[in-house]
Amino acid sequence: MKKRNQIISVAKKTIDTESKAIKNLGDLIDNSFAEAIEYIYNSNGRVIITGIGKSAIIANKIVATLNSTGTPSIFMHAADAIHGDLGTILEEDVVICISKSGNTPEIKVYSLQKTRETIYKTRGNKLIAITSNKESFLGQQADYILNAYVEKEACPNNLAPTTSTTAQLVIGDALAVCLLDLKGFSSKDFAKFHPGGSLGKKLYMRVSDLTKLNNKPEVQLDTDIKKVIVEISENMLGVTAVVDNDKVVGIITDGDLRRMLTKADSFHGLTAKDIMSENPKTISNNAMAVEAIEIMDKHGITQIISVEDGNYSGIIHIHNLTNEGII
């Protein structure tokens, strides 16, 4: 038990150390940060992001975030860069270099003044640094500095990159979100870059994509109760729409049938009109599937009727949303 308590204590201390460092980053956002964002936004080139070690992994993540939010980006490992990959950098590309110390050998070569003059400046490239050390070699060579200073690592030996890489990641997210905001990047734009997975489905899947997976249970106002029960049972959605000239006038659910059984001594003569719920919740067949989730959550229901041009179109069930991974 003592060992378990120690584990919990260390975990909480790690989170506390990193959260304090992240909170402090807000005070380090300055004009240099804003100018760097404006430069990237106004650039006609790509964003080339480089780093080494753990910073290279963070660079990869930032590249992925930028690409998914409308800013074309490429990762270039700092070690590969100084062995030929500098040729990847094209005219007007923006170069971002990530390094906690800003003084590692590969970073020094990469940001060397002579290299900058031959590779960057002649092509109009500028260098943006994400570093914890503004006075480092990288900091001195950079045109813009995104300050990712942290007082200490969460590692008890203050060695393993932990807090520092988290800070780099947060600065990268801030950079990406600022660009997203400037571009007016909408959820529709986001969907173009995320067509797969549950996230993509939330952004592009419509009610019509789900209703076509189901049967289309329906009865008329004067349909006999026995036929209503058969219609609900055979279509296995726990519900049927009640329609009149293709217009939805009511809904009958399994719950309505159970309530009928507890109240009626005889079913003879009963019709759909006698037990249906009027003014059921409906949704446009062209609406996004996530809108159906919101309606279901708000009203505590598991099915909703879809309509198209005012006419009955089908049923969407909460299981459809679950099966597609949207919920």
Q: What one-character-per-residue DSSP string does 236-302 give?
A: TSSEEEEEETTEEEEEEEHHHHHHHHHH-S--TT-BHHHHPEES--EEETTSBHHHHHHHHHHHT-S
- List the end-to-end C-alpha distance of the chain, in Å, as a whole number: 37
Q: What is the pLDDT of residue 192?
A: 64
Q: What is the pLDDT of residue 118?
A: 46
pLDDT at 110 over 90: no
Q: What is the pLDDT of residue 194?
A: 57
pLDDT at 39 over 90: yes
Phi then psi for residue 103, to 5 deg, are: -130, 10
- 214 membership: H or E segment, kind and range: none
- Between CA 93 and CA 179 the distance in angstroms is 16
- 207 membership: H or E segment, kind and range: helix 207-211
Quick one: pLDDT band at residue 112, thresholds 50, 70, 90? low
Q: What is the pLDDT of residue 89?
A: 81
Q: Are residues 25 and 145 in the same domain?
A: yes
Q: Are residues 48 and 160 in the same domain?
A: yes
**Looking at residue 93, what DSSP letter applies?**
-
97 or 90, which is more confident? 97
Q: What percent of the chain stands above pLDDT 70?
A: 87
Lowest pLDDT segment from 114-118, 150-154, 222-226: 114-118
Quick one: pLDDT band at residue 141, thresholds 50, 70, 90? confident
Q: What is the mean predicted confidence (pLDDT) over 84-103?
A: 84
Q: What is the pLDDT of residue 119?
A: 47
Domain boundary, last residue among 184, 216, 248 = 184
Measured in whole angstroms, the distance separating CA 306 from the mean position of its chain's CA atoms is 27
Q: Tell me the average pLDDT of the chain.
A: 87
Q: Are residues 62 and 109 in the same domain?
A: yes
- Between CA 178 and CA 189 the distance in angstroms is 16
> Would residue 311 count as lying in a domain?
yes
pLDDT at 138 over 60: yes
- Rounded (5°) CA angle 35-37-43: 100
Quick one: pLDDT band at residue 114, thresholds 50, 70, 90? very low
> Would residue 223 count as lying in a domain?
yes
Q: What is the pLDDT of residue 82?
A: 66
Nearest to 304 by CA among 219, 325, 213, 314: 314
Lowest pLDDT segment from 20-34, 90-104, 161-175, 231-245: 90-104
- The CATH number of whichever domain residue 275 belongs to comes to 3.10.580.10
Q: Are residues 253 and 167 in the same domain?
A: no
Q: What is the pLDDT of residue 295?
A: 93
Domain boundary, last residue among 125, 153, 184 = 184
Q: Which residues contact 274 (CB under 8 A, 6 or more apart)?
A: 225
Lowest pLDDT segment from 73-82, 294-303, 314-323: 73-82
Q: Are residues 215 and 179 in the same domain?
A: no
Domain boundary, last residue among 184, 215, 236 = 184
- Count of structural domains, the chain: 2
pLDDT at 273 over 70: yes
- 31 within 8 A of 58, measured Cβ to Cβ: no
- Between CA 78 and CA 299 the distance in angstroms is 55
Q: What is the pLDDT of residue 247?
A: 95
Domain range spanning residue 301? 207-323
> Would residue 201 count as lying in a domain?
no
Nearest to 95 by CA among 52, 62, 51, 48: 48
Q: What is the pLDDT of residue 241?
A: 96
> Would residue 281 count as lying in a domain?
yes
> Would residue 88 count as lying in a domain?
yes
122 or 255, which is more confident? 255
